[in-house]
Amino acid sequence: MTIKATPTPGALLLSPQDHTLIMIDHQSQMAFATHSIDAVSLRNNAALVAHAAAGFKVSSIVTTVAEKSFSGPVFDEIKDAFPGTEITDRTSMNTWEDANVIARVNAIGKKRIVLAGLWTSVCIVGPALSALDQGFEVYVISDACGDVSAEAHNSAMQRMIQAGARPMTSLQYLLELQRDWARTDSYELTTGIAKKFGGAYGLGIIYAQTMFHAKEG
């Protein structure tokens, strides 16, 4: 049987409309003990994810654990991306066991869940395995997560992958939402986020646009 290719995106690719992003416990106290990624990179990657989701109007939930009594506030970079958004505070380490968060997930009603947060082995593994068990598709933005050691983070990622979760990175998340430079309505949004939070890639965009007036697409 002959296979025929068509110019259409694969079903496993994310689009802005087909998933809920849940950002979990990007808080000071949790970051202090994170050693699998440095704090600067973690904050930068979390900011990239948050601004990408906000810019593309992705259904998003920001949640904290014991914000007032122990873990402290959400990173400012995330607050800046979602000004005025409701932040759901919890007592449970597993976000999926919090009735208020689940009420928001159900109100949004999307089968795909994208997770990012601290720590990978506890606060991301918990909801990832729970959501998978209930029939959701789960994606994990690995470099917007972190843990007390590289071993803890890597073991947690492997555990989730073995259960069916799909790993990706923060820059990959942004570019997958854009996916086609011919989408001119979001071109400035995407390149603007990349220039601010996209590291060397963002510097390359700044250089090309400044020196040669270059533009993708």
* Residues with a known catalytic role: 123
Phi, psi of 35 (to 5 degrees): -125, 0
Longest dimension (CA), the chain: 63
